[in-house]
Structures are given as structure tokens and as C-alpha cells.
Amino acid sequence: MLSYLSTQFLQVPVTSDVPDPSGYTVRMAFLPDGQQPTNTDWHPATWINSTTGWRAQFLVGPNGGAVTAQPGMWRPWVRITAAPEDIIESTGPIQVT
């Protein structure tokens, strides 16, 4: 759950066939559930290596976030460019209150 008043990093776990995917470009989108991203929905993201594995993250919220979400169900998307592949995946929905 995420408050629409909060500005925070949204993190998504990423499973990779390579031990360190941080050399690949990663972008994220955060859209109302049921919508698929278009080219203008993608925002730069960063990689972090946590104790549970690699994650993509970007800032969401009204104070400098790439996306400001209103209450409802939203879905994060991750796009990894690893030429010649362009991998696009989504995770389960997140409730924004």
C-alpha cells in the first residue's frame, strides 16, 4: 500500500540471468491498473542490490517524483534494455490510498 501524499522510492525485484544487471539501462513506469505503458510513460530508474537480490527503483509522489498517483489500483512496470533484448515486465498491482 502507498499513500498518494507520500514521495518515496518504488522498488521492484528483478530476476536476471546475469549476476550483475546494473550495466543495463533500466526504466520504470507506474500506471493505473489495466493500462499498458507507451513510450512517454517510461522514466529513468536506478539499480540497487539488496540482500534479497537486484531491484529497480524510481521516485514516485507529489514532491519531485516521476509520477504522482491518485488513489486507486496502480501497476509498476520495468523496462530493461540489454541489446538486442528490450525486456518489459510488470508486477502485481499496488493500492494507492
Closest CA to 78 of 21, 7, 30: 30
- The number of residues making up the chain comes to 97
In a domain, 2, yes or no: no
26 is a domain residue: yes
Within-domain flag for 85: yes
What is the rounded CA–CA span in Å between residue 29 and residue 90? 9
| CATH number where 71 lies | 2.60.40
> Residue 47 — pLDDT band, cuts 50, 70, 90?
very high
Q: Does any domain span residue 34?
A: yes
The neighbouring-strand residues paired with 44 are 27
**pLDDT over 90 at 16, yes or no:** no
Residue 18 located in a structural domain: yes
In this predicted structure, the answer to whether residue 66 has a pLDDT above a threshold of 90 is yes
The domain in which residue 70 lies consists of 8-96
Q: How many domains does the chain have?
A: 1
Q: Is residue 3 part of a domain?
A: no
Handedness of CA 36, 89, 84, 43 (dihedral sign): positive
Read off the pLDDT of residues 69-90 as tens digits, 9 standing for 90 and up. 999 999 999 999 999 999 999 9
Q: What are phi and psi of 41, to 5 degrees?
A: -85, -15
Is the per-residue pLDDT at 15 higher than 90? no
- From the list 49, 17, 43, the residue with the least C-alpha distance to 30 is 43
Q: Is residue 1 part of a domain?
A: no
